[in-house]
Amino acid sequence: MSEILVLVDHDDGNVRKTTTELLTIARRLGEPSAVYVGAGAEAARETLQAYGAEKVYVVDSPDMDEYLVAPKVEVLVQLMASASPAAVLIPSTPEGKDIAGRLAIRTDSGVITDAVDARPGCGEGLETTQSVFAGGYTVEARVTRGTPIVTVKPNSATPEQAEGAAQVESVSVTIPDSARATRITDRQPRTKSGRPELTEAAIVVSGGRGTGGDFAPVEAFADSLGAAVGASRAAVDSGWYPHAFQVGQTGKTVSPQLYVAAGISGAIQHRAGMQTSKTIVAVNKDSDSPIFDLVDFGVVGDLHKILPQATEEITRRKG
């Protein structure tokens, strides 16, 4: 069976859930080989092995953090030549897309972004599924040239454990001088909210213009459900909530079991980011809001009254 390269997304050795999802998808396509760039491979190996990585390619050199995507592009170009993989799977993040785009040019290979599934195609190659036009259409696509390069969205698969050999191979990579010119000169890590990751959460509660800038009821309700907090573009543009939490076309696409939209009208920009959610609930003052066309359950009214009451009710029922 051919190797499937999976670029590992990690936080200093802490493997993100998206990587275990990618490994699960990779197992349906061939033999997963994890590609680990940066420090912490030792700590990560156990997880990669548990989710079926047969090989773990490790690239680590001290100055690699100072560059954007160049080291990851170089190592993948190198491995695509030496391992002749059947496909390369990359997390669908801004960084992942930059890597995928450069890789496609370097290797003259077709590239698909934002896949929500990848499976063996009829005959040869693989077939992918994407959600397009703000979630209005589902398309199936395949790569017709080179080695398929696919970026995969979070929550596209349920991670399944399957012991792999996780044989470690050290890879050295030369960063070309041209790439060295671009440097990260400062990096301020974000403080963690303690809530689940927005794109990985089973429940997301988002606030919009209707919050009037007060996200306390949204956060309290989210916490009572163990949910992640999101925000509409209007709320982010008003400076009420950080952009990292924006749900919509220019923010995150989420597809949780339950999505609660509070004070969000439901413009196309927002729907693009949430309309594939399983169950949708909305609270909004305006009964004509387009969000109510999407809901399984909606309440027309003031979120500042309804959410605190709901939070209190949940707390009461939990006893």
Partner 1 sequence: MNIVVCVKHVPDATANRTFRASDNTVDRAGVDGLLSELDEYAVEEALKIAEAGDGEVTVLTMGPERAADAIRKSLQMGVHKGVHVSDDAIHGSDAIATSLVLAAALKRIDFDLVLCGMASTDGVMGLVPAMLAERLGIPALTYAVEVSIDGDRVTVRRDSDTAVETVVAPLPAVVSVTDQINEPRYPSFKGIMAAKKKPVETWTLADLDVDASQVGLDAAGTAVTSYQARPPRSSGTVISDEGDGGVQLVDFLAAQKFV
Scanning residues 212 to 251, which ones bind partner 1 (CB under 8 A)? 225, 233, 236-237, 242-244, 249-250
Phi, then psi, of 104 in degrees rounded to 5: -60, -40
Compute CA distances 69 → 88, 203, 210, 251, 265, whole Å.
Answer: 16, 32, 39, 21, 37
Query: Closer CB to partner 1, residue 1 or residue 185?
Result: 185
To the nearest whole angstrom, how small is the minimum distance from the Cβ of residue 158 to partner 1? Answer: 18
The only residue of 123, 124, 188, 319 in contact with partner 1, by rule CB under 8 A: 188
Site string for partner 1, 298-317 (x = CB under 8 A): xxxxx--xxxxxxxxxx--x
Query: Closer CB to partner 1, residue 166 or residue 218?
Result: 218
CB-based contacts of 292, cutoff 8 Å, min separation 6: 266, 282, 284, 298, 300
To the nearest whole angstrom, how small is the minimum distance from the Cβ of residue 156 to partner 1? Answer: 16
Contact range with partner 1 by CB under 8 A, out of 29-37, 101-109, 164-172, 204-212: 101-109
Scanning residues 19 to 58, which ones bind partner 1 (CB under 8 A)? none
The only residue of 48, 100, 234, 254 in contact with partner 1, by rule CB under 8 A: 100
Scanning residues 118 to 177, which ones bind partner 1 (CB under 8 A)? 127, 131-146
Contact 149, 35 (CB under 8 A): no
Q: Is 13 in the site for partner 1 (CB under 8 A)?
A: no
Scanning residues 268 to 297, which ones bind partner 1 (CB under 8 A)? 268-269, 275-276, 279-281, 283, 287, 292-297
* Positive or negative torsion for Cα 98, 11, 254, 23: positive
How many Å apart are CA 54 and CA 47, to the nearest integer? Answer: 12
The two tokens of residue 104 are 């496609």
To the nearest whole angstrom, how small is the minimum distance from the Cβ of residue 306 to partner 1? Answer: 4
Phi and psi based region of residue 52 (left: phi greater than 0; alpha: psi -120 to 50; beta: remaining): left
228-231 and 203-207 as β-strands: parallel, antiparallel, unpaired?
A: parallel
By rule CB under 8 A, what count of residues binds partner 1? 94
To the nearest whole angstrom, how small is the minimum distance from the Cβ of residue 42 to partner 1? Answer: 21
Contact 280, 274 (CB under 8 A): yes
